[in-house]
Amino acid sequence: MDYMKQQSQSEPNLTQTLDLPNALAPYRRPNHLRSVIELAITAIPFVALWVAAWWALSISFWLTLAISVPAGAFLMRLFLIKHDCGHGAFFRRRSFNDWVGRVIGVLTVTPYDAWRRNHAIHHATSGNLDKRGVGDVDTLTVKEYRALSRSRRIAYHFYRHPLVMFGLGPAYLFLIRHRLPHGFMRGDRRFWISAMGTNIAIALVVAVMIYVLGLVPFLLVQLPITLVGALIGVWLFYVQHQFEGIVWYEDHAWNFHDAALSGSSHYDLPVVLSWITANIGVHHVHHLHSRIPFYRLPQVLRDHPEFAHARRLTLWRSLACVKYRLWDEGQRKLVSFSEARALPAE
């Protein structure tokens, strides 16, 4: 019996043992001072590392690339603060959340309002097989995959290849796809205003930086930092919803609490990585109650240790998640392409 099956059998049924809304409600109130401090200790190091990366160009581009790694990590931490703002979890007033989110959206090249709407749909449909396609990693069932033409199978293989998923994919998502309000092309004009306003703000910031630093130095610093941050973000999102032991449901059997607990991992990272990723690894609790500020999530685990063992995924074991490409409806689990080929034809 594999690790995740053993683990899932030993997990308590938290939806039965806890009154989840009442158990988690005390953690939802943000502390404004703590939020401001978290913003400062993320933004200031990011700016400092950006300047250091630019300064390092005078010594070696390889040194600039080395500095780009922690700078990209802090950029992703800013994105995760924006993520909390999108849930109304970082400040008590919605206007504070929204304007901080919009400013960070310029730095992370993500239109805040359009992203927030997509992400809300993700939370409302996560783990629902019949409502895939918005704010998630495109995943076919084995039956759907077998029904594809040869050319479309090749395209799906290409899309799910690790070099595309974690290389080309993050660059495309943040640099190109986010320039338009994807999914709302004919929807509320607010999403167009969000996307175009963010694009204009990005263009102004880029123009000023190029004027001050020059085109080539700016690109040599900014592009690696952006791509590192994008890669980290895509990886985190992937392993939070594509792991061994995950359970997805058809629409008639789906309910919010079960889907949150069985469809989101607890990515149990080392302390430093947990801090830099704003505790987003406590993803099952986040999906249960998205209004909990990220800095309160560790307290939930301390007060309710049963959450710490649910869907636990270590850094080492998360590397195996890359192989999962398809959902086998018969076995109700994710499988690799090779495992899917071994399954009997229907």
The rounded distance, in Å, linking the Cα atoms of 215 and 228 is 20
* Token code pair at residue 326: 């398809």
H or E, element range at 243? none
The rounded distance, in Å, linking the Cα atoms of 197 and 187 is 16
User: What's the chain's length in residues?
Assistant: 346
What contacts 135, CB < 8 A, 6 or more positions away? Answer: 118, 119, 121, 122
Render each residue's pLDDT in the chain as its tens digit; 346 residues. 344 444 444 444 555 555 666 788 899 999 999 999 999 999 999 999 999 999 999 999 999 999 999 999 999 999 999 999 999 999 999 999 999 999 999 999 999 999 999 999 999 999 999 988 777 889 999 999 999 999 999 999 999 999 999 999 999 999 999 888 766 656 678 888 888 999 999 999 999 999 999 999 999 999 999 999 999 999 999 999 999 989 999 999 998 888 888 899 999 999 999 999 999 999 999 999 999 999 999 999 999 888 888 889 999 999 999 999 999 998 999 999 999 998 887 6
CA nearest neighbour of 286 among 270, 265, 314: 265
Look up tokens 């919009």; give the residue: 102
Per domain, the residue ranges of the chain are 3-11+29-342
